[in-house]
Chain A
């Protein structure tokens, strides 16, 4: 049993921590969020140069053979700096779908550009009614000659505004909730019949509503076998759930640090807030919850690394815990900051907003509790 990170993993952690300290202070992050793109394409390419974008892929795909633990290291470090660059939609979702199911031609065409940071992608899998069930797909694709014709609607597609290409989950057979009959198609954003409404989310990320009307894509854009994508989608969503949980754990660590620091400087009733026992106990609770959540994160990452048969169950245990821990640490941090906590000016509120959206993304606590019980 060994929970220590490898030397390489420690180096990656250190690299990101230094990048945040030097190039990604809170005011820079705020400027990026408010910019047209909503993130820095330049920094994105820097991440490519660092090798972060190719990290969690097999060497055969041009990657560095990294696994779920490496992914965890990257995202946890990203969380501490509230990095808004779209790592999860590009790398964890689109990259992994292609890496796991794509043809050699598809990989050759797309992965190098994805890893260098030239190409932006996302996975369009949520629909207004689907909530967290990736098997709930009504967007349809019908083969007509050599082309698939796609009709449907995808909701709150992460990184939609910047994306050059989408991977769209489509129903090619079966009914709305069937696991069989779901297929993945690569769709260029500028395809005829595709329209997107782009917007910002409360956490500073960007997303789109994507309407597909009679969109025609060549048969060669199918990733993997027709109708058989569900299993891989589930695996990739599990991986993304681990990744976003790691981000959350990084955010929680930072929020606890910021709150502790604030209570040591803010004085009321002639002493710093940190001297009040009622508040000390609450900070002990948030400290403990972060540690406990981190334990589940390590457990889930290790199980996924080993392809353990119960790794999906471990991921649901983790995300369930993320939901309740994020609520406690997020809300307590704001409360202990008092009025300052609700101002746009202080970073704590921005960490809170991202932590709050993570509670929902890839399934909230209720969803993962049910999934845990069913697995």
Chain B
């Protein structure tokens, strides 16, 4: 047991800080700090900064361009990124499709796809959920029929995050409908420019366009884009979901946001004093911080176990539930901090324009964030499904 950083770790932390101070693009930072929605180019610009430095695919094996960092170094790195309020890394390529390809892909596929993911040249999105298949993902119906050296794909994917920006989509498709539903699923990579791919926006209750429907109408996909064997898609999906769940808790961002809310409480006028004088509010903030500590150290224990060997297992569901509960609770506390000023609505275009904000500067994104964050207990396997995973795979029920 030792929680302190070694001198080398501290040196590394200093190196990361110096790098971010010098290289975090000022225009992207301005948008992040002011709650202005990012464009595709903003994400890419920031991620390129990291990929050029070789700090993008940090969890990958070194042979494919990973960093070889220790768990502590990764922890330090993530915390610094969050402290600098950098944009979340779009996870679909680097954290999801990449690990699938280097774990299950052929040598040819690795050579073809991995460098572009590592170097940020291709934007990926995830084709999992369908209108009839949410929590029950294995019931998916998108059909891929083999014809010669091609698959012909038909179906509809939904909740596809940032599909409007994507170059490629990795899909779970049904290649066999005869047996057990899990066994007929395959993992297929599809070029979004293929004829027959159509993206339609879904507007969410916060007024934003983040997710989409993706329609696949007789899309021709070369058979060489299949990852693993036909029918191996479900095992790959399970592997990937476990990966998705570890980062999903967003602990470093929560730490920064709690700190920010404390600063806000110090300065936000309330009667003839400040919000910090409201004991009930401050109690809630302090309780949240304690919950965060428990989530953080649960995550560190999981990461340490991972570094000792192997991939994250079903325990990662604990992180997903714990982290997303916290994200929602904190987003709610921001709403409470604002009182009536949580209610004015500014559209994404209002936010992007120079129009003066209504109420305190930080107010405009608070309620949209609360509303938008209802999704976190639904996506990535709903928290109900996560509980089933823990019940089954951890408790053996």
In the complex with contacts A339-B375, A343-B202, A344-B205, A156-B134 CB distance below 8 A: no
- A335 at interface, CB cutoff 8 A: yes
Chain A residues with CB under 8 Å of B377's CB are: 335
- A107 at interface, CB cutoff 8 A: no
In the complex with contacts A334-B374, A339-B158, A370-B280, A128-B343 CB distance below 8 A: no
B367-380 CB contact bits vs A (8 Å, 1 = yes)? 11011101101110
- A209 at interface, CB cutoff 8 A: yes
Chain B residues with CB under 8 Å of A335's CB are: 374, 377-378, 382-383
Chain A to chain B contacts (Cβ below 8 Å), 8 pairs: A200-B344, A201-B343, A202-B367, A202-B368, A341-B374, A344-B203, A349-B371, A356-B335
Chain A residues 89-104 with CB under 8 Å of chain B are none
Q: Kindly specify which of B7-15, B93-101, B269-277, B306-314 makes contact with the partner chain.
A: B269-277
User: Which of B332, B339, B341, B384 has its CB near the most chain A CB atoms (within 10 A)?
Assistant: B339
What 9 A-B pairs have minimum CB-CB distances, sorted nearest first?
A268-B136, A349-B205, A129-B269, A156-B340, A344-B203, A201-B343, A366-B280, A202-B345, A131-B339
Chain A residues with CB under 8 Å of B387's CB are: 278
Question: Who on chain A is nearest to B275 by CB?
Answer: A131
Q: Kindly specify which of A162-170, A213-221, A357-365 makes contact with the partner chain.
A: A357-365
In the complex with contacts A202-B371, A344-B205, A366-B272 CB distance below 8 A: no
- A197 at interface, CB cutoff 8 A: yes
Contact present for B343 and A269 (CB under 8 Å): no
In the complex with contacts A128-B269, A339-B378, A341-B378, A207-B343 CB distance below 8 A: yes
Chain A residues with CB under 8 Å of B25's CB are: none
Give Cα distance in the complex from A193 to B359, angstroms. 21
Chain A residues with CB under 8 Å of B368's CB are: 202
In the complex with contacts A156-B343, A207-B343, A339-B134, A129-B271 CB distance below 8 A: yes
> How distant is A93 from chain B, measured CB to nearest CB, in Å?
14
- A128 partner, pick from B203, B281, B359, B384, beta carbons under 8 A: B359
Chain B residues 137-162 with CB under 8 Å of chain A are 139, 158-159
- A236 at interface, CB cutoff 8 A: no
Give Cα distance in the complex from A331 to B378, angstroms. 11
Chain B residues 27-83 with CB under 8 Å of chain A are none
Contact present for A268 and B139 (CB under 8 Å): yes
- A209 partner, pick from B205, B358, B383, B384, beta carbons under 8 A: B358
> How distant is A178 from chain B, measured CB to nearest CB, in Å?
11
Contact present for B272 and A176 (CB under 8 Å): yes
> How distant is A364 from chain B, measured CB to nearest CB, in Å?
6
Contact present for B375 and A342 (CB under 8 Å): yes
Contact present for A339 and B341 (CB under 8 Å): no
Chain A residues 117-136 with CB under 8 Å of chain B are 126, 128-133, 136
- A177 at interface, CB cutoff 8 A: yes
- A353 at interface, CB cutoff 8 A: yes
Other CB < 8 Å A-B pairs besides A338-B134, A339-B378, A366-B280, 12 of them? A156-B343, A199-B346, A202-B368, A279-B384, A338-B382, A341-B378, A343-B202, A344-B203, A345-B203, A352-B371, A360-B336, A360-B339
Give Cα distance in the complex from A128 to B345, angstroms. 17
Give Cα distance in the complex from A191 to B382, angstroms. 54
Q: How many residues of A contact B (CB 8 A)?
A: 49
- A369 at interface, CB cutoff 8 A: yes
- B129 at interface, CB cutoff 8 A: yes
Chain B residues with CB under 8 Å of A132's CB are: 339
> How distant is B125 from chain A, measured CB to nearest CB, in Å?
16
- B167 at interface, CB cutoff 8 A: no
Contact present for B204 and A343 (CB under 8 Å): yes
- B135 at interface, CB cutoff 8 A: yes
In the complex with contacts A335-B374, A344-B203, A131-B343 CB distance below 8 A: no
Give Cα distance in the complex from A309 to B19, angstroms. 66
Chain B residues with CB under 8 Å of A334's CB are: 374
Chain A residues with CB under 8 Å of B370's CB are: 356
- A203 at interface, CB cutoff 8 A: yes
> How distant is B225 from chain A, measured CB to nearest CB, in Å?
27
Question: Who on chain A is nearest to B360 by CB?
Answer: A128
- A176 partner, pick from B207, B271, B280, B343, beta carbons under 8 A: B271
In the complex with contacts A131-B271, A176-B271, A366-B336, A342-B205 CB distance below 8 A: yes
Chain A residues with CB under 8 Å of B335's CB are: 356, 360
In the complex with contacts A128-B269, A177-B272, A331-B340 CB distance below 8 A: no
Contact present for B207 and A344 (CB under 8 Å): yes
Contact present for A353 and B205 (CB under 8 Å): yes
> How distant is A358 from chain B, measured CB to nearest CB, in Å?
10
- A246 at interface, CB cutoff 8 A: no
Give Cα distance in the complex from A202 to B211, angstroms. 20
Contact present for A360 and B340 (CB under 8 Å): yes
> How distant is B172 from chain A, measured CB to nearest CB, in Å?
16
In the complex with contacts A278-B384, A338-B134, A364-B336, A343-B378 CB distance below 8 A: no
- A222 at interface, CB cutoff 8 A: no
- A186 at interface, CB cutoff 8 A: no
- A74 at interface, CB cutoff 8 A: no
Chain B residues with CB under 8 Å of A278's CB are: 384, 387
